[in-house]
Amino acid sequence: MPISRVYDTRLLALAALGEVKSDLVIKDVTLVNVYTGEVMENMDIAIKGERITYVGSSASHCIGANTEVINAKGLYAVPGFLDGHIHIESSMITPSQYAKAVLPWGTTGIFADPHEIGNVLGVEGVKLLIEEARNLPLKVFVTVPSCVPTTTVFETAGAVISSKDVDALMALPEVYGLGEMMNYYGLLGGDEEVHAKIQATLKHRKAVTGHAAGLGYRELAAYAAGGIGSCHEATTKEEALNRARLGIYTKLRYGSAWHDLPKVIKAITETRVDSRRFIIITDDVHPEDLLSRGHLNRAVRRAIEEGCDLITAIQMVTLNVAEYYGVDDMVGGIAPGKYADIVLLGSLPQVDPKLVIAFGKVVAKDGRLLIDIPRFTYPEHVKKTVKLKRPLEASDFTVRSKKVKEGVTRVHVIGVGEGEVPTKHLIEELPVVDGEIQPSIEKDVIRIAVVERHKMTGNIGLGFVKGFGIREGAVASTVAHDSHNLIIMGVDKEDMAYVGNLLAEVGGGMAAVRKEEVLGLVELPIAGLMSDEPVEKVAAKVERLKEAWRQLGCTIESPFMTMSILALTVLPELRISDKGLLDTVQGNFIDLEA
């Protein structure tokens, strides 16, 4: 449903007085008031249409013959949860299916950065997501991708969203800010196009969101001076405090792969700093986790388990988010005039939604969606985005030594860790046989390649990666942040060619093979990023793919996301693109051999 600041003020005022009867009244609930920090017992909440009309000890005057009354004795009313930074595409499902998955968990609004589909389809991709989200019962506040492409030198991108495009998109009513500005190289270096995008956003009085991993204090101050208002890349207590002290809203990430929250929450639990500039986000959540583990409710529960005050934790997914994006006149709290987005919990510490109200309607009960969400049809051309110059061959993944014919050679290797965004720049000794550098199962070092898939350049970047535990076969994905070229890892070169060609044939996705047998496959034909199937089907395929990774020896809990960001050329320390191996600390390509 369209989101609007405008409503019938006369009607709501009359409804608050009881002269016009309300459509829905929640009786005898314990209200968590995020404005005052109070927990208020035996409260009533009256709703007319999509908006709250009255909050008080008795709303009996609002009840008429046709008013629906919900007895909420023993339940807690909290505002609908708001995710302050999320990529819908990373859940591998469309916005409609995403809404279906998160509404029962109490998430009624998200600030979506369509950065992934933007990097494949450009402005068209952003507008398609906006179009689908426009009439959903989930409020989708869009932020315009800031880095399409992420960089202009280090990789071959699928699309460009210019500062002029950003300026035009900012005028859309569905847009509430600029997506994560991860090109901090450009911002700190005075790149005119980067700053033009920020200026366009500020001109429209909208939020400029950030993404800066590993910046020192001086650079972080410059980042803030450059217009950035928030950042989700703090991974320690000290990094979080530095951001907050500089006026940057600090986002605590807790999704499928990245679990920074337990460390970062110490900035609040171990100090006396004000928590109002802290926000809990998920960033990326996979479909099987959405169905089985939850969404923001899970993240809030984890914050409470880490010692965070109950009301503080709830503020970090409601009022704090709304205030940052300047939408607290519509959402973020339970008060007259606000949208009636309300979650009734059975327990505050457990954050267990029993009933979810969005746009004034009961949409979910006891984890079950009660409404139908119409299916959105994507144009056929967006399902044909995997374009290879030619079919891949095993020889494409041969890495020749420039130094040794037989024996060993020292190689720059990408090191990964469980749930960690930064990689390690490692040096490993690898065997050389007949002039070819080999992987080492004993050292947990396998091959990695990035194949350009947008413009048929034929580019293939080659390297080695350590830490996945894979001992045989190959895996591949067209989800490879941020340009989303085809990323392939494996031990066997024949399997690497086979799995890459398989994904090209199905229009994109993720797969695992062994001896040219498909062990797991998730087709993602929409831009090579999303499926148009129901979330339940996609989740089942992802579970099978997880098992396939385990069969190949993988020991990482969320391997898909860990693999996908190995191509993200703005994160430390060592990354790979279709153009080669990149030392992101120094900002230059390096030879494979040390």
Average pLDDT over residues 167-179: 98
Whole-number pLDDT of residue 558: 78
Query: E strands along 75-166, which residues?
Result: 76-79, 81-86, 107-112, 139-144
Average of per-residue pLDDT values in the chain: 96
Output DSSP code: residue 284: -
Whole-number pLDDT of residue 489: 98
Residue that wins the pLDDT comparison between 106 and 1: 106
Q: Which tens digit of pLDDT belongs to each residue from 408-423?
A: 999 999 999 877 778 9
Q: Are strands 38-48 and 24-33 parallel, antiparallel or unpaired?
A: antiparallel
Q: Which tens digit of pLDDT belongs to each residue from 534-566?
A: 999 999 999 999 999 999 999 888 798 899 999
558 vs 564: CA distance, rounded Å: 11
Do residues 46 and 64 make contact, with C-beta atoms less than 8 angstroms apart?
A: no
pLDDT band at residue 587 using 50, 70 and 90 as cut-offs: confident
151 vs 146: CA distance, rounded Å: 11
Which of 592, 586, 557, 594 has the alpha carbon at shortest distance from 569?
Answer: 586
Alpha helices in 253-408 (DSSP H): 261-264, 266-269, 287-292, 296-305, 310-315, 319-325
**pLDDT at position 151 over 80:** no
Which of 201, 295, 215 has the alpha carbon at shortest distance from 256?
Answer: 295
Look up residue 456 and give its two tokens: 């048929």
540 vs 545: CA distance, rounded Å: 9
Secondary structure string (H, E, C) spanning 428-464? EEEEEECCEECCECCCCEEEEEEECCCCCCCCEEEEE
Whole-number pLDDT of residue 256: 86
398 vs 88: CA distance, rounded Å: 36
Residue 23: Cβ-neighbour burial (10 angstroms; 0-12, 13-18, 19+): buried
**pLDDT at position 183 over 80:** yes
Whole-number pLDDT of residue 153: 85
Angstrom CA distances, 275 to 85, 149, 237, 551, 554, stand at: 18, 34, 13, 44, 38
134 vs 104: CA distance, rounded Å: 19
- Residue 129, φ and ψ in degrees, nearest 5: -65, -40
Average pLDDT over residues 147-162: 90
Residue that wins the pLDDT comparison between 182 and 51: 51
Whole-number pLDDT of residue 258: 82
Whole-number pLDDT of residue 185: 83
**pLDDT at position 150 over 90:** no
- Residue 491, φ and ψ in degrees, nearest 5: -100, -45
Query: E strands along 60-212, which residues?
Result: 68-71, 76-79, 81-86, 107-112, 139-144, 175-181, 207-210
Whole-number pLDDT of residue 449: 98
Do residues 137 and 358 make contact, with C-beta atoms less than 8 angstroms apart?
A: yes
Do residues 163 and 97 make contact, with C-beta atoms less than 8 angstroms apart?
A: no
Give the 3-state secondary structure of residue 282.
coil
Please spell the DSSP secondary structure of 341-371, one letter per residue: -EEEES-TTTT-EEEEEETTEEEEETTEE-S
Do residues 260 and 254 make contact, with C-beta atoms less than 8 angstroms apart?
A: yes
Whole-number pLDDT of residue 374: 87
Which of 121, 24, 127 has the alpha carbon at shortest distance from 77?
Answer: 24
Tokens 């396998």 belong to which residue?
446
Residue ranges per structural domain of the chain: 381-589
Angstrom CA distances, 45 to 54, 221, 320, 353, stand at: 6, 44, 22, 17
Average pLDDT over residues 360-376: 96
114 vs 144: CA distance, rounded Å: 7
pLDDT band at residue 234 using 50, 70 and 90 as cut-offs: very high
275 vs 457: CA distance, rounded Å: 49
Q: Which tens digit of pLDDT belongs to each residue from 450-474?
A: 999 999 999 999 999 999 999 999 9
Give the 3-state secondary structure of residue 468.
coil
Please spell the DSSP secondary structure of 406-417, one letter per residue: SEEEEEEEEE--
Average pLDDT over residues 479-502: 97
Give the 3-state secondary structure of residue 146.
coil
Give the 3-state secondary structure of residue 215.
coil
Q: Give the chain's count of helices (H) and strands (E).
A: 18, 29
Whole-number pLDDT of residue 520: 98
Average pLDDT over residues 69-90: 98
Percent of all residues in the chain with a pLDDT value above 70, rounded to a whole number: 100
Do residues 423 and 571 make contact, with C-beta atoms less than 8 angstroms apart?
A: yes
Look up residue 504 and give its two tokens: 């090209």
The sign one gets for the Cα dihedral 571, 575, 577, 579 is positive
State the amino acid at position 376 in one-letter form: F
Q: Which tens digit of pLDDT belongs to each residue from 237-291?
A: 999 999 999 999 999 999 987 889 999 999 999 999 999 999 999 999 999 999 9
Residue 171: Cβ-neighbour burial (10 angstroms; 0-12, 13-18, 19+): exposed
**pLDDT at position 1 over 80:** no
Do residues 535 and 291 make contact, with C-beta atoms less than 8 angstroms apart?
A: yes
Whole-number pLDDT of residue 2: 87
Look up residue 471 and give its two tokens: 């001992």
Look up residue 76 and give its two tokens: 């807690």
